[in-house]
Amino acid sequence: MKVILASASARRQELLKRLTNEFEIIVSKFDEGKIAFDGNCGSYVMKLAEGKALDVYKDIKNESVIIGCDTIVSFQDRILGKPKDEMEAFNMLRILSGNCHQVYSGIALVNSLSGKIIRDYVCTDVKFDKLSNDTIKKYIEKGEYKDKAGAYGIQGYGGTFVEEIHGCYYNVVGLPLNKLSKMMVEMGVNS
């Protein structure tokens, strides 16, 4: 069965290669603004992931499994999305400094022939070291914060801020491999 990843994320593409080398990328044009945050991070990321997968699904004619995924950072019930600019990135990292936050990834798989949808999510607790303003400014100058929920990437220099992690590391990168592998088997994809 053909596998389609509904994401432009290079990180997700690289991680998916650990489960299968045979997949196509069709970037979803789903408007995430259509989904209002209902106060439940798990439910929210699953709805976002499903929206992305269904956006690609509507144009698929052959038998495929479409994978939609979305990752958010949450701190004290507040979502820290992708920062719009350096100032917003700085403020996010100040908030995370010395604190524990949660990273949620929602995954949705859609079978293009049957219309079957399965979805789930993973949550990982991440504890940051105390960061000085100087450290944050130097990190922002590297540009690594761009296009990353919570303004950091654990797989890059941002990983040096992480004091502890409880849960799936790959979830924090953006694609929880263990969960996705089980879901692909459930959907009939040999992984």
Choosing from 31, 70, 120, 125, which is the catalytic residue? 70
- C-alpha distances (whole Å) from 7 to each of 101, 163, 183 are 24, 29, 17
In the chain, domain spans: 2-186
Q: What is the pLDDT of residue 191?
A: 52
% of residues, the chain, pLDDT over 70:
99
Phi, psi of 17 (to 5 degrees): -60, -20
The residue-averaged pLDDT of 106-129 equals 96
The residue-averaged pLDDT of 129-134 equals 98
pTM, to two decimals: 0.93
Q: Going by CATH, does the domain composed of 2-186 fall within 3.90.950.10?
A: yes
CA 152 – CA 140 distance, rounded (Å): 9
Q: What is the pLDDT of residue 85?
A: 96
Dihedral sign computed on CA atoms, order 34, 172, 67, 181: negative
Eight-state DSSP code of residue 158? G
Neighbour-count burial for 135-152, b at 16+ CB within 10 Å, e otherwise: ebeebbeeebbeebbbbb
147 contacts 71 by C-beta, under 8 angstroms = no
Phi, psi of 42 (to 5 degrees): -60, -50
Report the mean per-residue pLDDT for the chain.
95
59 labelled catalytic: no
The residue-averaged pLDDT of 166-190 equals 94
pLDDT of 77 above 90: no
Q: What is the pLDDT of residue 117?
A: 97
pLDDT of 190 above 80: no
The residue-averaged pLDDT of 31-59 equals 95
Reported as a pLDDT band with limits 50, 70 and 90, residue 1 is: confident
pLDDT of 9 above 60: yes
**pLDDT tens-digit series, residues 78-111:** 999 899 999 999 999 999 999 999 999 999 999 9
